[in-house]
Amino acid sequence: MEDRKSNKYPEDDETGDVIAMYQTLEQFLKSEEFEEDLKKVLEKSNPKYLDILEKRRRDIERTDHGIVIAGEISSGKSTLVNKITGKKILNSGNLESPATVCKLRNSDRVKIIVEHTSGKIEEIDLNDKCDPNTKEGQRILKKTLKELTSSEENRSYRTVEIDLPIPFLKGNTMIVDTPGIGGSEEATEKMMDYLPNALSFVFVINVSNAGGMQKDRLPEILKKLICLKLDDDMPCFDPKDVIFITNKWDIIEEDDSDSEEEDQKTKTWKKTLSDIKSQWLKVDERNIFRLNLKEVLPGKENPSVEQFEEFQKVFMPCIEKAKHARVTVHLSFLRELLENAAKNVNARLQLDQQSEESQIELTNTHIKELEELKEKCSKLT
């Protein structure tokens, strides 16, 4: 393993500009120059603005734009990721599935990058060893990943990143396979820790599990997400974008005993829909899919393939949106805060007309500084 050289994308410059704007604004609003009474007025229009500014800056500094695939253990998450990429790379159906967050990223070079909980980063270059477009290449990648994630060292991994050509993924947007909820506590914790990096989610539900979602541990993660959102720790995640895949309908037995009664599948569908709606109020029903992932095979025609195609029509725009989501949301937040700050300083200037010249000069400096930031903000959008 070698130490990793950092990847840089064109949109990183844009992000860098937004981070710099946050820093300048934080410095200015904290400084003595920005007077106490102005601070109080701003606090009224934008309560806790300094705390929020700091949280927002931390959010834009996150480099992963994750589309996170999550759900209960063995629900079909890794199978789904393999179907999305069209490559059998992630291990599925393994009782000892990797208890690590696995991130897939588009790259010209094939490599695996391991991040330890200590922060140490290591890289395994596989570029000359496998071509991921061939079955053999996928087998090698899968085997390497399996060895890596089933090793004792896996416990010290925070994330494992697999870089390979996935043209539909842009820049830092990644598809993230997570350890199943209900597995080891340690793995669930790693998954929960990763959540603030996410911009979007696909939840996979195994409908053949008795009790469906109530017994499923999915509500646990949904609650955590709601808390993160309410605390402003995930400002760029839009709850309406969440997608649900209900999987493994083939395991539910057909009930042909009494045609008068609703069959098992209809009952399960109604229950699953009502569970999802009660646990995730913002759900868009068009984002709930019903299929058997194992029947999603190239060249086949069946209801699962049709549903998978419908799913892709919703999923692909999420990927496109993720590329600029952070910069767009942060710029509009900055613009609103700057407008409020400038408005307050302007009002102050009018009151100060009669007072000392130095006072007016200082207020003018505030306005100039805020206007400069606003202009930078407009140039970026």
Ligand X SMILES: Nc1nc2c(ncn2[C@@H]2O[C@H](COP(=O)(O)OP(=O)(O)OP(=O)(O)O)[C@@H](O)[C@H]2O)c(=O)[nH]1
Angstrom distance (rounded) from CA 79 to CA 289: 15
Name the residue whose CB lies closest to Mg ion: 78
Q: Can residue 78 be called a binding residue for Mg ion (CB under 5 A)?
A: yes
Secondary structure of residue 192 in the 3-state scheme: helix
Minimum Å distance from CB 246 to ligand X?
A: 10
Q: By rule CB under 6 A, what string of x and - marks binding of each residue 153-192 to ligand X? A: ---------------------------x--x---------
Nearer to Mg ion, 137 or 179 (CB): 179
Q: Can residue 178 be called a binding residue for Mg ion (CB under 5 A)?
A: no
Q: Can residue 293 be called a binding residue for ligand X (CB under 6 A)?
A: yes
* Residues 80 and 245: beta-carbon distance below 8 Å: yes
Residue that is written with structure tokens 């649900």 in the block: 244
Structure tokens at 354: 């009669």
Residue type, 61: E
Minimum Å distance from CB 381 to ligand X?
A: 39
**Could you give the C-alpha distances from 80 to 145, 201, 246, 248, 380, in angstroms and in order?**
17, 13, 11, 12, 36
Structure tokens at 141: 């990648």
User: Which residue from 97, 173, 188, 307 is in contact with ligand X, where contact means CB under 6 A?
Assistant: 97
Nearer to ligand X, 183 or 239 (CB): 183
- Using CB atoms within 10 Å of the CB of residue 158, give its burial: 0 to 12 exposed, 13 to 18 middle, 19+ buried: middle
Minimum Å distance from CB 76 to ligand X?
A: 4
Residue 288's DSSP bridge partners are: 244
**Positive or negative: CA dihedral 375, 377, 378, 380:** positive
Residue 123's DSSP bridge partners are: 2, 113
Stretch that binds ligand X, among 214-222, 230-238, 287-295, 312-320 (CB under 6 A): 287-295
User: Which residue from 97, 138, 159, 307 is in contact with Mg ion, where contact means CB under 5 A?
Assistant: 97
Angstrom distance (rounded) from CA 329 to CA 326: 5
Strands 157-164, 111-116: pairing kind: antiparallel
Nearer to ligand X, 197 or 292 (CB): 292
Nearer to ligand X, 32 or 301 (CB): 301
Q: Residue 73: which residues within 8 A CB-CB, separation 6 or more?
A: 97, 179, 180, 181, 182, 183
Q: Can residue 76 be called a binding residue for ligand X (CB under 6 A)?
A: yes
Stretch that binds ligand X, among 53-61, 73-81, 160-168, 323-331 (CB under 6 A): 73-81
Nearer to Mg ion, 78 or 138 (CB): 78
Residue 122 phi/psi, 5° resolution? -130, 155
Nearer to Mg ion, 97 or 344 (CB): 97
Minimum Å distance from CB 97 to ligand X?
A: 3
Site residue total, Mg ion (CB under 5 A): 3
Residue that is written with structure tokens 């991994």 in the block: 157
Nearer to ligand X, 213 or 338 (CB): 213
- Residue 345: CB atoms within 10 A of its CB come to 24
Q: By rule CB under 6 A, what string of x and - marks binding of each residue 247-286 to ligand X? A: xx-xx-----------------------------------
User: Which of ligand X, Mg ion, none does residue 75 bind to, with CB < 5 to 8 Å depending on kind?
Assistant: ligand X
Q: Can residue 87 be called a binding residue for ligand X (CB under 6 A)?
A: no
Minimum Å distance from CB 334 to ligand X?
A: 39
Buried b / exposed e across 45-70, counting CB within 10 Å, b at 16+? ebeebeeebebbbebbebebbbbbbb
Minimum Å distance from CB 208 to ligand X?
A: 7
Residue type, 64: D
Secondary structure of residue 28 in the 3-state scheme: helix
Secondary structure of residue 102 in the 3-state scheme: strand
User: Which residue from 16, 86, 93, 317 is in contact with ligand X, where contact means CB under 6 A?
Assistant: 93
- Could you list the residues that contact Mg ion (CB under 5 A)? 77-78, 97
- Could you list the residues that contact ligand X (CB under 6 A)? 71, 73-79, 92-93, 97, 180, 183, 247-248, 250-251, 292-294
